[in-house]
Amino acid sequence: MGQLVLEIPNEVMDVLRVPQQEALDRIRQELGVRLYAKNLLSFGKARELTDLGYGEFSELLAEEGIARHYDLEELAQDLQTLEQLR
């Protein structure tokens, strides 16, 4: 599987209203949150994109006012994880 590289013009990066050292993390978080909110990524994949832990991503969603989507697939994954922990 390939990897997508997103190029952001310097003119855009120069006017981005976050400190330069935080720009990559912030863009990843914004993208992950928006794709999750639009149901284009699952919680796990959006969290992976943001490079945040489970709790951190949950908090970020709450801060953004985005309700957690929880479907049967996620329930099955959670049940499988619980079985493995026994």
Q: Which tens digits make up the pLDDT trace of 25-74?
A: 999 999 999 999 999 998 989 999 999 998 999 999 999 999 988 778 87
Domain chopping of the chain, boundaries: 21-85
Short-list 14, 18, 44, CA closest to 30: 18
Q: What is the value of pTM for the model shown?
A: 0.77
Encode pLDDT of 10-24 as tens digits: 999 999 999 989 999
Instruction: Identify whether the C-beta of residue 77 lies closer than 8 Å to the C-beta of residue 70.
Output: no
Helix (H) or strand (E) holding 2: none
